[in-house]
A and B are shown apart, each in its own frame.
Chain A
């Protein structure tokens, strides 16, 4: 799983056209899985699961060093899904990568399944249970600090929701990461602009969100978080940034990839009905 298709060019690895196509196809496949899983489960969070598909696809199938056959490999790059309600996307990605059989995906949210409604560390490839917002960055800090202490080469990445940034703990953690110069750490904010009760800017204003992370001492990159080429480049920039952690503000669309779901907040926390599911899968035929 080591940076397939990446080529080194003047210290910045570029992603080639073929790799982008491969990742886009992969992302479409993941979206289909996500739609289907949440439909079968009858509940879940499709909006915020779809907004981050491109980010997770790029991480797991392009940027991160990891080995699905050896989930506990000491030098693996670590990913923590702080916005745990996007669990279906993480599970679909992990299954697609080979951490566990794809046929287990429809057991999401079912009694006795390892695929809990929010990420559970019992699942191969899931580093830590999450779901209660605001905690992932603190945990990522701890892993990054251990990496520095042990002089390990691994990197740590966490994905936060934008609404999640309302949590005070996020900023406690942001302060610590720059204080301890955790340049082996990347925090991505899935800036889809919506939280459960409505627009983030109406519920609790976040802007200037990039300015906030800058003020906390982070290297900040703003990208289109649904464009694989931009995601890959930002992650490379994070990897080569020294002396401070990197925050990627990834502007995304909630419900991305399905025309009738994009930017519609009703899909934050409700499953699709049969008709909607069929329509969505039809749209994803590429």
Chain B
């Protein structure tokens, strides 16, 4: 299985964008090697700005560049971008500025660095801001296509990327469609709705369930906002049970978004799988996923319980 991190894909996409779009500028807060913006910096030094480790200024400077008709991509670790939440809300989002906040090391992917460097609340924090769109690519191909697509769409976005290499799900012909869920497997007994790194875990779970003759529909939600309401309602109606999976707190993220929709339109038995209102800790990434139940084995168990409820 081919592996690549979404941050690597982001770095490559920026280099391509640098050539394609003169107005693209890139900003980083002293983490350009980790976020992979160093590739763009090397190729287009005059359009790359390191602001030092100063995240509030990072966001403000990006706002100014966007006002002056540049398309800034700003990068740091997911958790540190949230340090400038109020700047993001009051300037970028309020004025609907064309700033792309593309952050790396989201979720638990910064394993050994521990809780201070992991980010489990960011989808919730960004999703709640008007005008702010949230994109969580599931693999490197989707990440690259999403970044290219966002460079052509005016308005703010939060693009959530990872440190670790994860399996490639899509081939090069894949077309990224902003705001549209991607049905990866069709099935009738339940729907697993996943985002980011958890999409391939959902696919593995579906295989395990198939062995027990349980037919699973798997939806990849790469755009958590604006979310594809129609597909979520349609599959809930059809399959009668929904499980959401995300590398994020169980509060306010993908699970919250799906629950908000289904509670008002078509309530079905539901499970929200994520990190259970806890901080992370140091550890290898796979160990952390296991501890927090973010593996196909755990999702499998959870699905079985849910199907009991459905009956």
**CB under 8 Å from chain B, chain A span 155-190:** 168-169, 172-173, 175-176, 180
A142 sits at the interface (CB 8 A)? yes
A135 sits at the interface (CB 8 A)? yes
Q: What are the residues of chain A within 8 A of B56 when measuring CB–CB?
A: 134-135, 138, 168-169, 172
How close is B202's CB to chain A, nearest CB, in angstroms? 40
How close is A141's CB to chain B, nearest CB, in angstroms? 5
Q: What are the residues of chain A within 8 A of B86 when measuring CB–CB?
A: 132
Q: What are the residues of chain B within 8 A of A210 when measuring CB–CB?
A: none
B49, B52, B57 — most chain A CB neighbours (10 Å): B57
Whether A128 contacts B95 by the Cβ 8 Å rule is yes
Could you say which of A143-151, A216-224, A240-248, A250-258 contacts chain B? A143-151
A65 sits at the interface (CB 8 A)? no
How close is A259's CB to chain B, nearest CB, in angstroms? 36
A140 sits at the interface (CB 8 A)? yes
Q: What are the residues of chain B within 8 A of A137 when measuring CB–CB?
A: 60
Q: Is the interface of A mostly helix, strand, loop or mixed?
A: helix
- Interface size, A (range): 20 to 34
Q: Is the interface of B mostly helix, strand, loop or mixed?
A: helix
Q: What are the residues of chain B within 8 A of A130 when measuring CB–CB?
A: 91
- Compute how far the CA of A169 lies from the CA of B59 in the bound complex, rounded to whole angstroms: 10
Whether A175 contacts B52 by the Cβ 8 Å rule is yes
Q: What are the residues of chain B within 8 A of A67 when measuring CB–CB?
A: none
B257 sits at the interface (CB 8 A)? no
Whether A138 contacts B59 by the Cβ 8 Å rule is yes
- Compute how far the CA of A145 lies from the CA of B47 in the bound complex, rounded to whole angstroms: 10
Whether B66 contacts A142 by the Cβ 8 Å rule is yes
| Set A131, A141, A147, A149: member contacting B90, Cβ < 8 A | A131
A129 sits at the interface (CB 8 A)? yes
B307 sits at the interface (CB 8 A)? no
Q: What are the residues of chain B within 8 A of A131 when measuring CB–CB?
A: 90
A262 sits at the interface (CB 8 A)? no
Given contacts A138-B57, A168-B56, A169-B56, are A146 and B69 in contact (CB under 8 A)?
Answer: yes
Whether B52 contacts A128 by the Cβ 8 Å rule is no
Chain B 52-70 near chain A by CB (<8 Å), digits 1 or 0: 1010110111111111111
State the B residues within 8 Å of A (CB).
25, 46-47, 49, 51-52, 54, 56-57, 59-70, 72, 86-87, 90-91, 94-95
